[in-house]
């Protein structure tokens, strides 16, 4: 049975273009504004939404996303409220795929079975849990698959051809290629290297390949969208929101537009990357994550 993620990537492949995958932190800067932002993302051009699950110790994230998570927690965001945000989003949008991204600790504390049941009921389509390597698939990956959720794996520049089959073994939805070494928000990756990596990974799987980390603007997005099946943007959107906030990190009148205007620009870049219509022809890899997955 296909998921919204499967259906969205299949539809975009038929259109001959890549997906724009947007990351925002659930509850940043407050639950109400966060819901308004997430609800506005599809209309601005987002094809898939990654929703960060706030956590007190996000060791893989750069300063921007760390700060976003802390703002959300300070505003009272919890994992239960994150699921409620998805439920509220689904009242207005039953088509756009939602992926929850974060760390295993909050899920473990919440209870795996309870979390998966709640995520499925809310309308979540997939999970990215960056600190669970393939060797721990029985913890969450397999139960998530059995619950009807995609479990999306990360591949890094150091994931070689010997390691890649293990990484891909229970992956579904799409493969998230972390295009550089470092933390989220780091410098842009080398385009030629990214293109070669996408081609290499495609030799091992028929899943779509989405590339993230280092994408700041429409030009960056267009460069990656030429060869990848998806372009993931996170820190740039979090930064755009941060610049709109007032004293004490309170949302301003332009906070939603600060995010959606950048998404619209990125979407234009992605959509213009392959001028010919028809079927497609074609973060940071954190040091500790590289050791887990590579």
Active-site residue identified among 50, 131, 137, 229: 50
Catalytic residue among 47, 61, 125, 131: 61
135 is catalytic: no
Q: How far apart are CA 266 and CA 270, in angstroms?
A: 6
Residue length, the chain? 294
Is 61 assigned a catalytic role? yes
Cα torsion through 192, 271, 39, 77, rounded to 10: 0
Other Cβ atoms less than 10 A from the Cβ of 74: the count is 15
- Given a contact cutoff of 8 angstroms between Cβ atoms, the answer to whether 58 and 268 are in contact is no
Is 77 within 8 Å of 26 (Cβ atoms)? yes
Dist CA 172 CA 95 (whole Å): 18
Q: Can you tell me the distance from the alpha carbon of 106 to that of 104, in angstroms, rounded to the nearest whole number?
A: 6
Catalytically active residues, by annotation:
50, 61
């Amino acid at each position: 049975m296909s998921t919204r993620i499967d259906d969205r990537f299949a539809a975009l492949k038929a259109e001959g273009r890549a997906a724009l995958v947007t990351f925002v932190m659930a509850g940043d800067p407050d639950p109400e504004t966060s819901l308004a932002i997430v609800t506005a993302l599809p209309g601005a051009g987002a094809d898939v939404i990654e929703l960060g699950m706030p956590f007190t110790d996000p060791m893989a994230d750069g300063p921007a996303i760390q700060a976003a998570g802390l703002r959300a927690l300070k505003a009272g965001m919890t994992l239960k409220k994150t699921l409620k945000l998805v439920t509220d989003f689904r009242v207005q949008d039953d088509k756009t795929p939602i992926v929850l991204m974060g760390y295993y600790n909050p899920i473990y504390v919440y209870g795996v079975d309870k979390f998966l049941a709640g995520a499925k009921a809310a309308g979540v389509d997939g999970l990215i849990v960056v600190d669970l390597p393939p060797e721990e698939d029985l913890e969450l990956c397999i139960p998530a698959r059995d619950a009807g959720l995609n479990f999306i794996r990360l591949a890094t520049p150091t994931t070689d051809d010997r390691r890649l089959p293990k990484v891909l073994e229970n992956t579904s939805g799409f493969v998230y290629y972390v295009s550089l070494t470092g933390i989220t928000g780091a410098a842009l990756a080398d385009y030629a290297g990214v293109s070669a990596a996408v081609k290499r990974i495609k030799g091992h799987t028929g899943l779509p390949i989405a590339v993230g980390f280092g994408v700041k603007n429409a030009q960056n997005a267009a460069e990656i969208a030429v060869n990848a099946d998806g372009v993931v943007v996170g820190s740039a959107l979090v930064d755009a929101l941060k610049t709109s906030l007032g004293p004490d990190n309170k949302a301003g009148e332009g906070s939603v537009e600060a995010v959606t205007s950048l998404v619209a620009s990125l979407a234009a870049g992605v959509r213009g990357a392959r001028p010919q219509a028809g079927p497609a022809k074609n973060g940071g890899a954190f040091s500790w994550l590289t050791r887990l997955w590579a």
